[in-house]
Amino acid sequence: MPPSSLFSTTTYTAVACVMMLAGCQPSDTSILERGASVREQIRGVNAGTTDTIDCDEPIRSQADWELLRGVKQIRSFTLREGIAGDREASIIGSLTSLEQLSLRHSPLGDDGFREIASLQALVALNIPQADCTERGLESLSSLPHLQSLRLGSSRLDGLRACEILATFPALKSLHLIDIHIKDQGLLSLSQCKKLRSLYLDNAGVSQEAWGEYIIRQPLVHVHIDQAHHDRDPIKNHPSAVESK
């Protein structure tokens, strides 16, 4: 049976949206005033002209960080060049309306992850250079709306991380970076019944395990080391091809 006969139009639409969250296709940031200082952006949020903070440069001043504390109108916060650690995470955790959070070059540990876990409205989280263990990751399992997670941490045990991720209630898109989950970890991820997009970089998974995973989860769009898996049942659908 060809792949196109396996999925409804509704499923295609959902998969395409999840793939965009995972990074298959860059989001349109043209509406953002890129290059504005964090103070200028905070003024815009307080004035009601935006709900987004998008920083091209690191926030180096603790005074600037403190200006962010408790600003409830922020729904999207991006640090493109860091640097947020556990101390700054306590401020991020006070942004209670936050739905999208991206912290690059930010080595958040377990304490920082516990602060992030207080963001009950969070839908998408990107922390590719974290420094958390399984304890920090487990704290995120309490987030009821978290659909998209992109994560890297050299301190994570791959199998245990996958067992924890399988308990996340709303997860649809997952990207693990340099986390060696190996075969058993991948099979644990097959318990994520809502998952529709899985990206793994340097995961140490055999082709045999991938074959078993695809049998168990035929609706999941699969990328391995930045390439479509050759048995990905969705890769030939237009929504997947256009998102490359």
Residue 30 domain-assigned (yes or no)? no
Q: Considering the domain boundaries, does residue 31 fall inside one?
A: no
Closest to 115 measured CA to CA, from 95, 130, 144? 95
pLDDT at 228 over 80: no
Residue 28 falls within a domain, yes or no?
no
Q: What is the pLDDT of residues 123-158, one digit of tens each?
A: 999 999 999 999 999 999 999 999 999 999 999 999
pLDDT at 185: 98
Domain annotation covers residue 33: no
Residue with tokens 């295609």: 12
Cis peptide before 83 (omega within 30 of 0): yes
Percentage of the chain modeled with pLDDT above 70:
79
* CATH, residue 98: 3.80.10.10
Is 116 a domain residue? yes
Rounded CA separation 212/224 (Å): 15
- Look at residue 48 and tell me if it is in a domain: yes
Which of 104-118, 138-152, 216-230 is predicted least confidently?
216-230
Quick check: 144 and 169 in contact, CB under 8 A? yes
Q: What string of DSSP letters covers 49-96?
A: S-SEEEESS----HHHHHHHTT-TT--EEEESS----HHHHHHHTT-T
29: in domain:
no
As a whole number, mean pLDDT of residues 56-66 equals: 95
As a whole number, mean pLDDT of residues 174-179 equals: 98
**pLDDT of the residue at 142:** 97
Domains contained in the chain, number: 1
Q: Per-residue pLDDT averaged across 63-89, rounded?
A: 96
Question: Does residue 92 belong to any structural domain of this protein?
Answer: yes
Q: Percent of the chain having pLDDT more than 90?
A: 77
Domain of 230 in residue numbering reads as 3-23+39-242
pLDDT in tens, 31-40: 345 579 999 9
pLDDT of 69 strictly over 70: yes
Residue 226: the pLDDT is 84
Radius of gyration of the chain measured on its C-alpha atoms: 18
Does the pLDDT of residue 192 top 70, yes or no?
yes
